[in-house]
Amino acid sequence: MSSVNYNVLGLIFASMHDSYVSELTKKRTMGSIPFGGRYRLIDFPLSNFVNSGVTEVGVITKANYGSLLDHLGSGRDWDLARKKGGLHLLPPYSQTGGIYKGRLDALGNIWSFVEHSKAQYVILSNCDIVTTIDFNDVLRQHMSTEADITLIYSKALYDSEKNNNATILDFDEDNRVKSVLVDPKISGECNQWLEMLIISKDLLRTIVADAVSKNIYSFTREILQNNNNEYKIMGYEHKDFFVRIDNIQNYYLANKMLLCEDTRKALFKKGLPIYTKVGDNAPTKYGLESNIKNSLIADGCVIEGTVENSVIFRGVKIGKGTVVKDSVIMQGTVIGNDCTISSIITDKNAEISDGKVLKFSETYPLHIDKNGKI
């Protein structure tokens, strides 16, 4: 893969939109939500940066970031444990005191880190979009169009009744942004901003300094929506698979989508691996009476029952005579013997005792809290 010969800094907002999946972010950030059997959501933007040749990445935290720090460590699993550049964890506090109020406030708080970077361009990304992308292609277009800001978007169906926090873009005939709608009450195919963008460090410095002086916080509303005529804001269409984690139902469905081989091929591309913290667990042990159908099962599990159409994370134990269907079972969960489980999400280290019957629907799956017992 050829890289553009410019220094680029990656910035990841680990906690943006935590409130939309509050069931999963009570004790963690958006970025550290487990996904797909062995990953965390932050693994996707972090791997996208690394695969694109970006070797200096800052992760902007907010609250409940203990599990995020434990997952990222030194950045070694992403080849970001470096003397120059590498992975940097950035504090959540704003210059006015307390937790930052928006993207511009956060950038103002950590600007000394950005200023000391030798990067000419900055790429911003959240953790609530699961996708695989090569940022080199975006950077080439950004430079060729001489854009001030390039927004990465995808054409996709949007339903205001089912989706939260979407930003919809409208373009003129030259693919320049002419309007930005936040949470519009519309449905149908739209240009959805994936909350990823490229901007020069010099322009970002000007925008952040102006925001600090005016005490404004939201990049989306203040810059993209209210002042888009001041800048040449272009769009880059990302045509590959993506999924937005904007509520607990979509989290559940996003995991279930991985049971489709075509989806896995679209997300986990050859040459663009998704890196994560290595677990070094033993292989999964299957009992003589176990029966597995169309499921993803991570390492370190003990499966003695039946598992169908489910995503099973590391270290899960499923007892004899138990049937688990259409469920997302997170790391360390223990399900006893003779249980019947359907359409549930268990957080880490949950316990379900012998003989329990838990049947729910895919539209409204049951969520069991971390360390919860039933």
- Give the CB-side neighbour count of residue 124, counting CA atoms within 13 A: 22
- Give the CATH superfamily of 285-368: Hexapeptide repeat proteins (2.160.10.10)
How many other CB atoms are there within 10 angstroms of residue 291's CB atom?
12
**pTM (two decimals):** 0.93
pLDDT at position 183 is: 82
Mean pLDDT computed over every residue of the chain: 90
pLDDT at position 355 is: 94
User: Average pLDDT, stretch 63-82?
Assistant: 87
How many other CB atoms are there within 10 angstroms of residue 225's CB atom?
16
Q: Where exactly are the structural domains of the chain?
A: 8-267, 285-368
Asked whether residue 162 carries a pLDDT value surpassing 90, the answer given is no
pLDDT at position 276 is: 93
Please give the Cα distance from 373 to 363 (Å, whole number). 23
pLDDT band at 211 (very low <50, low <70, confident <90, very high): confident
User: Average pLDDT, stretch 304-331?
Assistant: 96
Residues 6+ apart with CB under 8 A from 272: 47, 48, 51, 132, 134
pLDDT at position 1 is: 46
- 18-51 confidence digits (pLDDT tens): 788 889 988 888 999 999 999 999 999 999 999 9
- Give the CATH superfamily of 8-267: Spore Coat Polysaccharide Biosynthesis Protein SpsA; Chain A (3.90.550.10)
Please give the Cα distance from 80 to 86 (Å, whole number). 4
- DSSP-derived secondary structure for 160-207: TTT--S-EEEEE-TTSBEEEEEES-S-EEEEEEEEEEEEEEHHHHHHH
Q: Tell me which DSSP letter residue 224 carries.
A: I
Residues of the chain with pLDDT > 70, as a percent, come to: 96
Asked whether residue 4 carries a pLDDT value surpassing 60, the answer given is no
pLDDT at position 100 is: 67
- 353-374 confidence digits (pLDDT tens): 999 999 999 888 999 999 999 9
